[in-house]
Amino acid sequence: MYAEFLGLSFEVVQARDGAQALDALQRHTPALLITDVSLPGIDGFELIRRMRDNDSTRDVPAICLSGYSGARYEQRAREVGCDRMLEKPCLPDHLAQVAKEVAGRGRISQG
């Protein structure tokens, strides 16, 4: 549902699990990564951690979606380099708004 909605404003590349997402990141450096925390195999936090460890994807902004909430998840999101954490259910238009904000800001420092 999110990919369909975001596809109206963004070019969307989907992956069914963390390993497929890492593979896609090797072929295409996105303007923004949006991932669920709960992915089969490599979870969303590990996906972002690995993305940050790669020179070509280190500065890609990242948003995590999760049905889980609380300080423990927010802390883990910060530790791996997640730019924003959104709790599900999240309205698609809210996700699109946050995506535009985060993608526009980026992580690349100027200077």
Cα separation, 91 vs 81, whole angstroms: 23
**Side-chain half-sphere exposure of 3, counting CA atoms within 13 A:** 8
In a domain, 111, yes or no: no
Please state the domain count of the chain. Answer: 1
Q: Is the pLDDT of residue 109 over 50?
A: no
Q: Is the pLDDT of residue 28 over 60?
A: yes
For 21, the domain range is 2-103
Sheet containing 62-66, strands listed edge to edge, beginning at the edge strand earlier in sequence? 33-36, 62-66, 84-87
In a domain, 110, yes or no: no
User: What is the structure's pLDDT at 110?
Assistant: 30
In a domain, 108, yes or no: no
Average pLDDT for residues 48-55, to the nearest whole number? 94
User: What is the structure's pLDDT at 106?
Assistant: 57
In a domain, 63, yes or no: yes
Res. 107 pLDDT band, cuts 50 70 90: low
pTM of the model: 0.86
Cα separation, 26 vs 29, whole angstroms: 7
